[in-house]
Chain A
């Protein structure tokens, strides 16, 4: 078990570094000369002075070879320094730590909503396979999965506009306990819910054919106890392995949800950085997003043997 965890961690670190290298290389070779942008926002003298430019380049370490710059970037990252924004000159870390809590709270709540709503719905659909109830749950899930957040959000807002008096439609950020969070949270949870409903349903249908379920029923265990004690546990294992995918869906969805509902989180920061070609910010957010997904995948790998002891024999003995 311990050897397994160590090996997974040792394989994980080079993967993270390689993703960072890839993203950094894209930014490095494609972004154009960051000097111009730094120079443009320098106060006062805007005349292009080659001597001054070279001085700035030297000072910022931009004249060094690619790998040295990449090494410096990683070194600074490890010390919590993401560099400075090219357009505002503010520290990227400060910008991110101002925006991140909003995205984080929204994302965690969306995961909670997903777990609470989707697993029971998937269980109900799976245990009533091919009934009208199953079809309506499944149909709703397919529909929710298909409609992107920037379509679902506006449609819900237009619908609410018809019901609510003008000016009272939720827009902006009012904290976790404000009513304004309901709509964005709902829209952000749609796709993960759809994903987990389908996953749970498929797993339930498979588990239902197992001998231990038939035995439990044969000895007269009530249906809801069968569901909770005999079906739920083996169903949770394949569902939890979807954590990485849910993370991707939420990170992608948050960009749109924040934009549609005017929430000042990481998603909106990404879009504004993008319009300004503010590479340090784009780079930092991409790295954080990839890190979250890769960390979830690692967590799943580490949790898996605990959930399903059969897997640890197979993996540990390899």
Chain B
């Protein structure tokens, strides 16, 4: 980021980057997340074993040099599964956040800028979505959408004979992405709306309007860029939340199903045997804990760096 703004000595981003670097916890979070991205991107070249290959002679092994995190009840290498779990978590988090962001930003910006009936309706809908406990809402959405989606995929398969429609992992992913995006967009919409409301009456917007610019250009060029700071903070928190949600659903058995590795279903598998093989529970739980804490530290650091006015 610093390389891009070299010729603009005191830009907002450079200041923010400098403030972020001073915050040791945020930097630690950033490093952990960078490592996670690396592992998720290059997973297949990093895993010592295939995440599916079973070695029934080497079941439930304690951590050793050959298997740094041991093996599970089917003799699969836990480290390899953790790495593939990182891919699952990251893929879900990024796609869900992108979809939620797209819906939230568009609806929030329109509602905030134009106001009126649409604004009232949007606020009502978000109010209500946010007053249903997230997990229960997802449980209902997930259970409701599963059958229609499965039927639709089966119909597509019959039509095209394309085996991709028979891939059960794909159905899981579509369901997880769908239900998570459906519950994740309201906070973004409200944030963008609040930002737009506070920005749209500033003098520079009035000036732009006086110059005769159209609403669309004012919104895109003058309003949205000034709402970016808060949005970045929200996205970094949102990525962490989405990762936790994905593992939560997989833990409950409504997310990514085995054999596709996910930290959530590794934890729920580990929970069954933890009295005898605590490492099977400890490894995924510890990884998830470290990653979620890292996202929170980075989010707090970004908040302090990008919204310096909020600091005393």
Residues of A at under 8 Å CB distance from B?
A: 15, 18-19, 22-23, 26-27, 29-32, 139, 142-143, 145-148, 150-152, 154-155, 157-158, 161, 166, 169, 205, 209, 244, 248, 251-252, 255-256, 259-260, 270-271, 274-275, 277, 279, 282-283, 285-286, 289-290, 293-294, 297
- From B127, B140, B248, B295, give the contact of A282 (CB < 8 A): B140
* Stretch of B67-75, B187-195, B268-276 on the interface side: B268-276
Total interface residues on B, CB under 8 Å, equals 49
Chain A nearest Cβ from B215, distance in angstroms = 29
CB-CB under 8 A from A289, the residues of chain B are 132-133, 136
Bitwise interface map of B from 139 to 152 toward A, beta carbon under 8 Å scored 1, else 0: 11101111110000
Q: Is the beta-carbon distance between B295 and A293 smaller than 8 angstroms?
A: no
The interface of chain B, by Cβ under 8 A from chain A, is 25, 124, 127-128, 131-137, 139-141, 143-148, 240, 244, 247-248, 251-254, 264, 267-268, 270-271, 274-275, 278, 281-282, 285-286, 288-289, 292-293, 295-297, 300, 312
Q: How far is the CB of B48 from chain A (nearest CB, A)?
A: 24
- Report how far A297 CA is from B244 CA in the complex, Å: 25
Asked if B289 and A147 make an inter-chain contact with CB atoms under 8 angstroms apart, the answer reads yes
By the criterion CB–CB under 8 Å, are A290 and B285 in contact? Answer: no
Q: How far is the CA of A157 from the CA of B281 in the complex (A)?
A: 10
Select A154's contact among B124, B131, B148, B274, beta carbons within 8 Å: B274
A31-B147, A154-B281 known; A274+B136 contact, CB < 8 A: no
* Known contacts A169-B275, A251-B133, A293-B131; is-contact A151 B252 (Cβ 8 Å): no
Complex alpha-carbon distance, A283 and B252, angstroms: 17
Q: Is the CB of B133 within 8 A of A148?
A: no
**Contact (Cβ within 8 A) A290 B132:** yes
Q: Which residue of A lies closest to B292 (CB)?
A: A146
Which of B147, B252, B271 lies in contact with A271, CB distance below 8 A? B252
Nearest B residue to A255 by beta-carbon distance? B135
**Other 13 A-B pairs with CB < 8 A, given A27-B140, A154-B274:** A29-B144, A30-B143, A30-B144, A142-B293, A143-B296, A145-B296, A146-B293, A150-B248, A151-B285, A154-B281, A209-B312, A248-B134, A285-B136
